[in-house]
Amino acid sequence: MPMSRANDRLRTLAVLACASGALGAGGCSHSATREFDDRPRQDVWQAMVQAAREPRYPDWFVIENQVTVDDADHTVHIYRSLKRDLVTPGTKPRREEATWRFAATLLPSSPTTVEYSSPDWAVPAHFWAQADHYFAQVRLRLAEMGPITPAPGDPMDGRTPAGTRDPEPPGHVAPPPVEGGLAAP
């Protein structure tokens, strides 16, 4: 009996080793999506490409930034190498390096949605930080493009439709009513 238990354990370990090896060969990818339903699709695509080609990091130096743009599929492939020196009080400065390989795809769905994905193994928190950074960069580029012009007749555009304003400026005093007539409001 003890021998069969040992064999069962060995078989279980072998199966787990094969499964983890297959998982490693296939990779472990991450993906995140964000909706940009307040902007036209073409503006979002332009902001995606610009955010990929001209990355801005407040605490990293971009060492390498290779970008491939596929206009037909609305996908941007990015390979990026980053470095920084992290200095914390009471410790020696420490150099950190990060390499990222990811893709950003403008999905054909409505509302306008961007999918950010990476085929590489990564700590999920690090991936989410990079995804949030990319989406924030896209949003920043959209803001730099300026406000969008609402469609004519859009009730949410904030402008008063023509012909609904008071014809007289504020402070205007109406003339006295004609004898036997009604006063103007």
For the ranges 25-39, 83-97, 120-134, the lowest mean pLDDT is seen at: 25-39
Helix (H, G, I), strand (E, B) or coil at 80: strand
Q: Give exposure, 41-80, as e/b (b: 16+ Cβ within 10 Å).
A: eebbbbbbbbbbeebeeeebeeeeeeeeeeeeebbbebeb
Q: What is the pLDDT of residue 184?
A: 65
Angle between helices 41-53 and 124-144 (to 10 degrees): 120
Higher pLDDT, 125 or 103: 103
Over residues 82-105, the mean pLDDT reads 92
Q: What is the pLDDT of residue 109?
A: 86
Over residues 19-42, the mean pLDDT reads 68
Q: Is the model's pLDDT at 125 over the cut of 90?
A: no
The domains located in the chain, with CATH, are 28-144 (3.30.530)
Q: Where are the beta strands (DSSP E) in 42-165?
A: 61-70, 75-86, 94-107, 113-118
